[in-house]
Each structure stands twice: as structure tokens, then as C-alpha cells.
Structure 1
Amino acid sequence: MKILESVRGMAFLGTFGQARLFSAACAERTAGVLLQYLADEGRPADQDTCVAALELLWDTAPPDENVAAAMHRRLSALPELGQEFRPSGVQQSAALGLRALFAGIAMLIDQGPDGAVEPSESARALARELDGEVGATAAEEDAIQDRDVERIMSWSPQERTLHVHGLRAAAAETGRDRLAAARTRHGLGDGAPDGAFTHPGSVSVTATADRGDVAAAEQRARYGVVGRITAGSDAGGYLRVDRLADLAESPEERASAAGVDILVAADPAMTRDCVGEWVEDWAGVEEALRREGRQVDWDAAP
């Protein structure tokens, strides 16, 4: 245990696990602006990197220092973190979101709670930047951070896992408000520049998705389990869903892995006539099953 102080002088006794959740919530509130900016710039690979970093920060499992270090290196290559970068306007808003992520991932490497200070500061700075002369958004961010500290500190380690989805859903809702404000203030989200490449498989902006539905779907997930398709497209065949991060062979590969693969094959070994489809998460799996009219018996495969 040690004292963790925010930039406003707020102090509380915090463990690394508590500080990690606090930082993840700060990063979630800034992520929508960052990811929409990258989408508008036509940078799907950088967008995917930032989404993977956010997922890594929210992961409740003990951090893998090698995976975190690999992600830290990938984020450090983004130009918005360069010393020569002098942002203004929408670039400034996006850079604040990136700095929140970068500091959060750095905290996973040294595993000290004081790493939560910069995500806190970045979230406050974004709120001030979007505020203009009013000040309401900055005041709201202060209140949110105070509330998050109180809530996180009240949870036992066992309760923390139960509450993480609710914490993220609340942060994502605020992130949607931040994104809406950035659209009004900077015209963010008007689309990628002319000639920019749009990646058809790129993940959606985290802060604009309904994370409550996503979290609920993950509770139903059957990753790595072979099921028998009993109705719909490819009835009689077999289906398995693999998380790409689970298949990675190195920390670098795991850091860059995002989403899941839906595999459909003629045999339970998934070797004959096997085809795949990429989706973001289990909510995407369920949407794909509905689209194809598929029903899967997860206990029928030999």
C-alpha cells in the first residue's frame, strides 16, 4: 500500500490493482476521441493498436510485463508522442487520449500505483480542452474521478472483478459524451481524408459502443470450444471461436492481437473445408450467428 496522489492533490491509499482500474476508466473516457481521430486520419493499424492497449489495461489478470513492454514500444512509435509533435485542436484532444493509454501501459510494466497520475491528468486536461469557457465538463470529470476513487477503494479484491464491467460501462458512456463534444468543437468524425484507406476489419471505437452489452455477451463466451451447428448456414458442420490473443506465440504477437476468429469446418478437428470470419468480441460472434441463422450445440461435438 502507498499513497497515490492525483494532480488535484486528492490522496488515497491505493494498491496497484486499484490504480489500474482507475487508470483504465480515465483512458476509456478519452479513448473515443483518440480512436475517432485515428479513423478520420485513415490509420486503422494505429487504431487497432490503441484498442488492444485499452483492452490490456482493463484486463483483470495479473499483467505480463513482456506483453506490456511490447505494447509500450508500439504506442511509443505513434507520432503524437514524439517530442517534435506540437498538437493543437483535435490533435491535442487525441494526444491526451494517447498519453493516458501510454502511461497506463507503462504502469503495467513497473506495477506501481503512482502510474495512475498521468491518466488522471490527461482525462482532466481533455475535459478542460473540450469545455471552452463553460467549465462544466471539467467539473464533471473531477466529480467522476472522486467517485471512481471512492468506489474502487470500497471493493474487496473479489468484488473488484464483479464490478469492473459496470465501471467500464460508466466510463464508456462518459466517453461518448466526450466524443460528441469533440465532434461539435472540432468537427471530429466527418470522415477520413480523401484517398485514405478504410480497413474493413477495423474494430469499432470502444467509447462509442455499448460496453454493457459487450460485457454481458462475454459472460456467455465459449472460446476454444468446438460446437455442432444444428440449424442455419452450414448445419451439420462444426464451429469454434478462437481469441487471437490466446493463439499468439510471443509477447509482441499478443500485444498486437485484437478480436476473435469464428471458424466453421466440416469436421470437429477443424481441418476440412475450414473457413474463418474475424469479429471484435463475443457480441460480434452472436451477431454473426444471428445473421447466418445458426444455432450451435456447444456440448454435441465429440
Structure 2
Amino acid sequence: ASSGDILVSNKKQDLDIFLNNLKQQYTFLPDPGLEAPTPVFFCTIETYSESGQKQLDFALKNINREDPSLRVRIDEQTGQTILLGMGELHIDIIRDRLKREYGLETYLGPLNVNYRETPKKTIQQTIVWNSTINERHATISITLSIEPIISDDKRIISFSQIQIIRTEEQNFEHLRQEHIEAINHGVRLALSTGLIKGAEVVNIQVKLHDVQLTGSISPALYSAAASDCVRACLRHADCVLLQPMMRVEVICVADRTQIVLDDLARRHSQIIDVQQGISGGLQESMSTLITRTPLAELIGYSSTLRTLTSGQADFTLAIDGYEPVRSH
């Protein structure tokens, strides 16, 4: 520039470029202290009229801001709204709030346990996709690998983004950020419905090793190829089904201790501790039982416990990790 020239700096564009470059170099992890608990139940929710769907979407979005333990997603195959929550009572409270605060009458589908799936093996696959649009041919070859993440505390780690493996032969210079985002979208889509029970695939790392292109490739084609490649990996990864485990603490009258223990044993519980009360006397003492029990075995447990103890018992539940479903 010479004297008298006017120089203009597009600071917003510079900032966008800087942030985009930063995003490609680093992975930002959320503050673990702010992490919402993992939902353990899910069910469909519908309004009694089509006109109420927009209002339902609006209401759930507002409630979710106040209650991050509630998750809402749309089933891509059926278009139904899915609620994911921490328990039967949690889901009922959400339904009550929709009626009380938004005047919405809703129908809840059956309550289901929120299982997960995870791979046991590290697998690498290459998929080649061909596309022809307006007589223009395009080909994409993509190589991805999946490997299990071992979590010592048995917690669930959801997929975040692919790890790009750069080498001297493949540095991915041709891969723009929109293409990386498209690949991530395709991977998420494949991991959202596993091959065993259609559950989310978790505790998994996905690595991108190679992408070869011929012709003009749209982001949608990147996504489709990535989804197919991940599914091909999952088919050979010996995936297992994971179930939520609950820490159960029951306080009951002493003379019903064995009855309650027998019932928990039938529910495939691991007995952790029994503090036996003393039966008889003027005032019945109480026993405390602590077990680790599959959540699927505890649906409707409240009414069963009330029947077994004639209403003289109370219990609390807390999520205690996930573990593979065992055949009994």
C-alpha cells in the first residue's frame, strides 16, 4: 500500500479463519464437573393432535435447558420424538410439566431400558462409493478404524469426533473442514443405531486413515461413505450389549429381610452388604440391604417391595455404571 491508500481489515473473517484452524488442531473437551448424568430409560412421546407437535418441540427445548439430564431426540426412521430420562418418575414429572406449564396433553409409549453397545475388537475397513449425477462420475474411497475405549469406572463415553491419522504419504491437505464435519456426521449416524439391539454404540474411538477422491464429491457422499465404513467395522468387532447397573439400598422391617433378599437374588442382584435388624420386641428394628442390580430387573420394583413388606420398606436407586448383559 502507498501513501493515501485506505486499508480495510475484515476482522470477523480473520477470526473465523483462526477459530476454524484451531478447531482442526485441537479437541475441546467439556468440563467433567458439568457433565449431565447418562439417561437410563427412554420412551416415545406424542401429542394427541398434529398441530401440537410444534408446541411440544418448543416446550421440550425449554425444559431441557433447565434439566440437562433430560435428552430429546428424533427417531430418523419413524420421525417420533424420543424422551430419555433418569427413571420412571423423571419421565412422569416431564409429562406433568408439559400439561401444567404448557397445557399439552401427551401420550407416552412403553418405557424401555436405555441399553448401549460397544466393540470388543479393533477393526479397520475400506469402503469405495461410486456416484453418478448428470452423467458425471465420482468415487470416494475411505478407510476408517474403530477400537474400544476401556473405562475403568465403567462409565459411558459417547463418540465425539474422528481422530485423523496423518502420515507422510497422507496428510489430508485436500480435506476441508466441511468434509471432516460430514465424515463426523456419517460416523455419528452409524453409531446411533448398533447392530445388536439398535442401541447407541459407545466407548469407541474412530480413526480416519485415508480418503481418496475422483471427481467432485459432495459432503453428503462423505457422510454416506463414512457411515457404511463404520457399519462394516462394527460387523466384525464382536460388539456386546451393555446394560445400566443400579446401586440399590433397601431399608425394611427385620422380619421381612430374607423375603426381600430372595426377591433381589431372583433379579440377578450382587449382594454387597446386609445389616440385619433384630425382629421381635416392642419396636421392630430395621434391616439395610445394599445390592448391585441390573436396571431391567427393577422396573415396577416399587409395587413389588410394597407387597412383600406390607408397605414397611423404602428403597433408593443410583446409577452404578454399565456392564455387559450376561445370559442367565
TM-score class, shorter-chain normalisation, is under 0.3
Structure 2-normalised TM-score? 0.25
Larger gyration radius, structure 1 or structure 2: 2
Q: Which of the two has greater strand per residue?
A: 2
Question: Quick one: higher RCO (CA 8 Å, sep 6+), 1 or 2?
Answer: 1
